[in-house]
Amino acid sequence: MLRVLLVTHGGLGAALIETTVEILGPREGVEALSNRGLDRAGLVARLREQLEALPAEDGLLLLTDMPGGSTQLAARLALHGLPEPLAGRVWGPLAGVNLPLLLTALNRREGTPPQELLEILMDRGRAGIQVSP
């Protein structure tokens, strides 16, 4: 299974997951990690714990909320020096998560190669931002 981990500020990740459940129903293998109450080192440590607990048969898609933000930086730091073969099972971090991107990730994660899925998600995330006439 390709698991999905959202690393976000405050309650954003949990709210996005809650909303996807309302739309798609419950999905396995999707979690949120908030930076609430954590400094950078604390968030990196929590991320490393989650990465190291990844079941050997699973991969992980790592999504963060803001490009260049503390959550993306923490994700990059947590991935740095990750031992193989674990490092080869983690994709991302993809920054700028939004609801259309997350819905697409959950609908397409099985049967789509992870590197291809990242490209699809970047396109879907951008397409999900529109100005109504």
Each residue's pLDDT tens digit, 14-56: 999 999 999 999 999 999 999 999 999 999 999 999 999 999 9
Question: What pLDDT is recorded for position 70?
Answer: 95
Average pLDDT over residues 101-126: 97
| pLDDT, tens only, 46-90 | 999 999 999 999 999 999 999 999 999 999 999 999 999 999 999
pLDDT at 117 over 90: yes
What is the reported pLDDT for 133?
87
Do 6 and 61 form a contact (C-beta atoms < 8 A)? no
Residue-range domain boundaries for the chain: 2-127
- Verify cis geometry, omega within 30 degrees of 0, for the bond prior to 93: yes
Task: State residue 71's pLDDT score.
Answer: 97
The DSSP secondary-structure symbol of 30 reads: E
Q: Say if residue 122's pLDDT is above 90.
A: yes
Q: Does domain 2-127 have CATH number 3.30.160.110?
A: no
Strand partners for 32: 6
Return the structure tokens found at 119: 């490209």
User: Would you say the pTM of this structure is higher than 0.75?
Assistant: yes
Peptide bond into 114 cis (omega under 30): no
- Please report the pLDDT score of residue 24 as a whole number: 97
